[in-house]
Structure 1
Amino acid sequence: MKKKSFSWYFLILVLCIGVLTTFSGCGSGPLNAPKDFTIDSKGAFSFKGVSGANMYRIDVYLTKYISNGTISKDAQIACTANVAQSKGTVKGTASSVKALPYGNYTAVITSVPKSGSKRTKSEAVFSSAFTRSGSLSVPAISVTKNNWGATIKLTDDACKNYLEKEGAYSFKYQVFSDEACTKMVTEGTFGKDITHNPNAAPGPNAINYNNASVDFAVAEGQATSYWVKCMAVGNTELKVTDSEWSKAVKVDIDGKKPENNSPFGPPAGQ
């Protein structure tokens, strides 16, 4: 009888351990957070999963929005990846990371409970910062005559490309009085803070992007034809390299004084 009693007690103990193990994710309160989370600039990630999670969520932010383990209230999620539940070491690739514009990023991962569960998501675990870098593409520009000289403008497609794929930094331009581009008349920079303008009025003259153009002026009596080149300026800290210079775009200017009787127009920039 003693042996039978011992066997029953042992069986009950084993069953209890099994039940506790199975339902260790039950109850209330936050789930345990994933551990040893890493992610690189190509989206390859690794972390240790936890019991009770239904899935894991990875959110990526520009690093400038994160300070001392806190996400700024005005931060925008750059991209997101959902990872299915798994225990042990979990590895995979968040493909959306490879499409991010150049810049410094930090990823945040949380354990997410099942819908209807009394458990809540875990505290956030932050990755080390990683950098998306590369070479900028050659800017596409238009150059049109205005009342005091000409306006150099990035095309809407170019602006869209820089903002969505490469990151907007700034642009250099050079103006020449000869087709061989050996006699430079003026030069400058523009476009440091290009932004999309969602409220642009429709039409051929719509300003769909702010800070995407610059004016240059010429003195009365200067040559009537000019050739303009432009390049995108990179960022050494982020390992983003300059683009090559664009092909020269010709613009014809009459060389007359502007209506305000000044040989030069208003300050460059928009």
Structure 2
Amino acid sequence: MSSIHPTAVIEPGAELAEDVVIGAYSIVGANVTMGAGTVVGSHSVIEGHTTIGAGNQIGHYASIGGRPQDMKYKGEPTRLVIGDRNTIREFTTIHTGTVQDSGVTTVGDDNWIMAYVHIGHDCQIGSNVILSSTAQMAGHVIVGDWAIVAGMSGVHQFVRIGEHSMLGGASALVQDLPPFVIAAGNKAVPHGINVEGLRRRGFSADAISALRSAYRLLYKNGLSLEEAKAQLADLSSEGGDGDQHVRKLTAFIETSQRGIIR
């Protein structure tokens, strides 16, 4: 059975699984769908055309599905889609998309989103991501799986953060952060491969060695970006465990619109 506090407001039209929990003074809008086992703390607002999956834990005073902070927004029925088993802590804000982009903001599965995080309109957050307290994602930001954004960091609109990368605390990221790379600073600069994170996730020694070699080509050997990409192509065809990961790194660079941090 669901447990909805008597002071909560559930607008007609909202679709809630039978066992959701809604805390005191929270509001759930008419166009919200919420999956089994999801818990919403007190004083939170879940609104907009928002779909939330199963097993999510949403803290007190969260604002989920609000209007995008974009002056071009004219009330279009854009969406927010959140997956399963996410932890979304107190005072987090996540906004719906805009018609200037795909019209939908997405959050994947098994993410750990700490207090006061902001996820702006049209962001695409992958799965198993950690967004530490007060991390701020501007509009249209893409965050790959297993990435970490440390506290008090700001990410410029349209920037991409690659999978298994890490952005250090109090950083300002204004260009794309490639997969597997650690960066920090204002403005953020690269500081090596996320070796410890890769080890914890089961990457082989061969794969990590290949990514370290790729990092040297990109950042340590004095090569231009075009020269580095040519040598990365050779590195990704050596026949080892690292080939697929170097190819992912190269593909990320090739598709960068803002350019990667250098």
What TM-score comes out, normalization by structure 1 length? 0.23
Ranked by relative contact order (alpha carbons within 8 Å, sequence separation 6 or more), the top structure is 1
More strand by share: 1
Give the greater-gyration-radius structure (CA): 1
